[in-house]
Structure 1
Amino acid sequence: MARQYSVYDVFTDRKLAGNPLAVIFDGEGLSDDAMQAIARELNLSETVFVQAAANPTHAAKLRIFTPGRELPFAGHPTVGTAIALAERSYDGSNGGLDLVSVLEENVGPVRCAVRIRDGEASFAEFDLPRTSQQVRLPLDKQGLADAISVKVSDIGFENHVPSVWSAGVPFLMLPLHNLAAVEAIEFDPQLWERTAPFYDGALASAYVYCRGGVHHAAKFHARMFGAGMGISEDPATGSAVAALSGAIHHFDGLPDGHHPLLIEQGVEMGRPSFIHLHIDAKDGEISRARIGGQAVRIATGMLEL
């Protein structure tokens, strides 16, 4: 059976940047093993399989696979697929389209808003299906430093210390002193597997970040290494930014109100990505958080399976 697909570059407004995503529009009738094999064959950070939603008022059900395993939730697949589905329905009239829809993911329903404008890269934003929560696990600071080839003294800045957070997918957050330390990382997956904790049946991925960035508007600069996902390094990781929202709120002590933040990632890979994070805080807690970004289509074809 021929199945139509498109490839999008996500969290960017230009082609051959950001994080590539494969969207398989005809995802019905494939076994879990088949979807995993296709994701491994395509070898992108994630591949999405679009299926019929269980709730007829929702737009679609998404199954999200890395080359190594299925994820219950991920940011760049949510943004990219929301845009891909909206662009398929857009007839080019009135100069644009504003659309709100719900995508079903294994983590639960995810509400998305999409903005399409002629001559511009489309933009999508979604509400986090879960608020980021800290997972308290013992951490070996020296072992973590060795795994990313930095000095122990490079780890931490201001109130930020290593910690594990999850908004559906767990990440070990590693704050480093400055941009130079983040740029100099040499990640050793074997040392990481010996040192990093397992949580919810999976090895926590490394999300290394510092304050500031190469882009003047970036509030944080980050890199993600997903040894347990089959990803050596990821150009943009929305689920990690979702987890990071909890760390930012906790360590920075965000006051009540609205906090827009731009996170840059993928710079060292030559695929700069820009992730928009919005945190609404109330009564000392995160009341709502949203992640958004642009995406551009770079390929369309048929999967002959």
Structure 2
Amino acid sequence: MTLLSNRPSRRFLTLDVFTDSALAGNPLAVVLDADRLDDVAMQKIAAEFNLSETVFVLPPEDIAHRARLRIFTPTQELPFAGHPTVGAAVLLGLLDGAPTGSFTVEERVGLVPCEVAITGDGVGEATFSLPRLPERVGALPEASIIAAALGLVDSDIGFARHVPAQYSAGSPFALVPVASRAAVDRAANMKVGWDAAFGQVKRGSAFIYCSEPVDPAHRFYARMFAPSLGIGEDPATGSAVAAFAGAVMDHETLGNGEHRIVVEQGYAMGRPSQIVLTLTVADGALAKATIGGKAVLVSEGRLFA
């Protein structure tokens, strides 16, 4: 028996992204056949799902591209985000039915080329090239102000050559290096003092990281807080790692060639995620950067809205 069978509906699916295990990684809702939804309806639906992001798939403006994506948090639209791009790309690859594929999706930040490989039943991997290379876009306040906003002490802030700063690859983030994984795990949004530390960053999102991963084969361990987006803590944030590529270029010593860096996120939430950042360096400068990861289908349904 199908309830509400006479009401108009559209298909949606959920995936867990930056993992190949259901109920890990970062959950994502993808709404198909969204071309008849207006901005207000999309925002209300994203609030209803109440996940970090919800993606709406629309026909592309250029038929040479695979689809146009619009990305919403529970409170606002984003021009670009990593886990929605990876998850939507894997879903589009699953719908296409081919084991591998290459296509371009349209996002508000610009065109995003994607490479997809289907690796199992409802499981795939996607990599996308950053539509905009990262850049340092501003400073952050002194360590004592940042530490107070995160419930840390001044000595927890910074390690090696890494210092706090604002970076963006389409979406801006406060990037806060922290001395140890224990300090990253102690960090919290203290609310009082948050605006003083991060209010100058558009959307006030803070990506906190250290160089002590859980898996020694990986490179960094991170958490991300975005209270102004309706996201207390995000299990995996590809757009933050895209911005973080700028900090890696500024503070690490990378020779020419390709560098694969795995960033762990979500472990403190019980949602372990692995985000693969690949940097191509030529003549000492960043020539290309990609974000990649796996995604697994979790649920499918009909949206009566």
| TM superposition score normalised by structure 2 | 0.95
Q: Distance in 2 between matches of 1:224 and 1:166?
A: 15
Structure 1 stretch displaced more, 204-213 or 4-13: 204-213
Q: For residue 187 of structure 1, give the secondary structure of its aligned residue in structure 2.
A: coil
- Using the alignment, how far apart are the partners of 2:228 and 2:122 within structure 1? 36
Residue matched to 1:303: 303
Matched with 2:263 is 263
**SS, match of residue 193 in structure 2:** helix
Name the residue aligned to 1:21: 28
Distance, in Å, in 1 between the alignment partners of 2:120 and 2:24 is: 20
Contact 1:137 / 1:197 at 8 angstroms: preserved in 2? no
Shift of 1:190: 4.0
Amino acid at match of 2:115: A
CA displacement, residues 224-251 of structure 1 (integer Å, 9 cap, x when unaligned): 0001211000000000000000100111
Query: 8 Å contact 2:81–2:239 — kept in the other structure?
Result: yes
Within 5 A, what are the aligned runs for 1:1-305? 1-90=8-97, 97-118=99-120, 121-199=123-201, 202-305=202-305
Identity of aligned residues (%): 45
Q: CA deviation at 1:219?
A: 0.2
CA distance in 2, matches of 1:239, 1:138: 19
CA distance in 2, matches of 1:120, 1:41: 25
Q: 1:278-298 deviations in whole A, cap 9, x for unaligned?
A: 001112211000110000000
Q: Deviation per CA, 1:11-62: give whole Å up to 9, x if none.
A: 0010000000000011112111111111111100000000010010100000
Aligned equivalents of 1:136 and 1:237: distance in 2? Answer: 20
Deviation at 1:253, TM superposition (A): 3.0
* Distance verdict in 2 for CA 1:282–1:204, change over 3 Å: farther
CA RMSD of aligned residues (A): 1.3
Give the AA of the match of 2:181.
L
Shift, 1:258, TM fit:
1.0
Whole-Å Cα distance in 2 between the matches of residues 68 and 218 of structure 1? 33
On the 8 A contact 2:94/2:122 being kept in 1, the answer is no
- Residue type matched to 1:183 in 2? D
**Which amino acid counterpart does residue 155 of structure 1 have in structure 2?**
I
**Deviation of residue 98 (structure 1)?**
0.9
Instruction: Using structure 1 for the length normalisation, give the TM-score.
Output: 0.95
Question: Structure 1 residue 216: deviation in Å?
Answer: 2.5
Task: State the distance in 1 between where 2:102 and 2:191 align.
Answer: 40
Cα contact 2:57–2:69 (8 A) shared by 1: yes
Q: Aligned-pair distance for 1:144?
A: 1.1
SS of the counterpart of 1:189?
A: coil
Q: State the alpha-carbon separation in 1 of the partners of residues 274 and 30 from structure 2.
A: 20
Q: Distance in 2 between matches of 1:43 and 1:71?
A: 15
How far has the Cα of 1:120 moved from its partner? Answer: 7.8
State whether residues 245 and 279 of structure 2, in contact with CA within 8 Å, keep that contact through their aligned partners in structure 1. yes
CA contact (8 A) 2:25 2:236 kept: yes
Deviation at 1:268, TM superposition (A): 0.5
Q: Distance in 1 between the 2:238 and 2:191 partners?
A: 21
**Secondary structure of the residue that 1:29 maps to in structure 2?**
coil
CA contact (8 A) 2:221 2:263 kept: yes
Do 2:140 and 2:165's aligned partners in 1 also have CA atoms closer than 8 Å? Answer: no
Q: Is the Cα–Cα contact under 8 Å of residues 139 and 197 in structure 1 kept in the other structure?
A: no
Alignment length (residue pairs): 298
Q: CA deviation at 1:257?
A: 1.4
Partner amino acid for 1:115?
A: A
SS across alignment from 1:212: coil
> What is the CA–CA distance in structure 2 between the aligned matches of 1:35 and 1:290, rounded to whole Å?
28
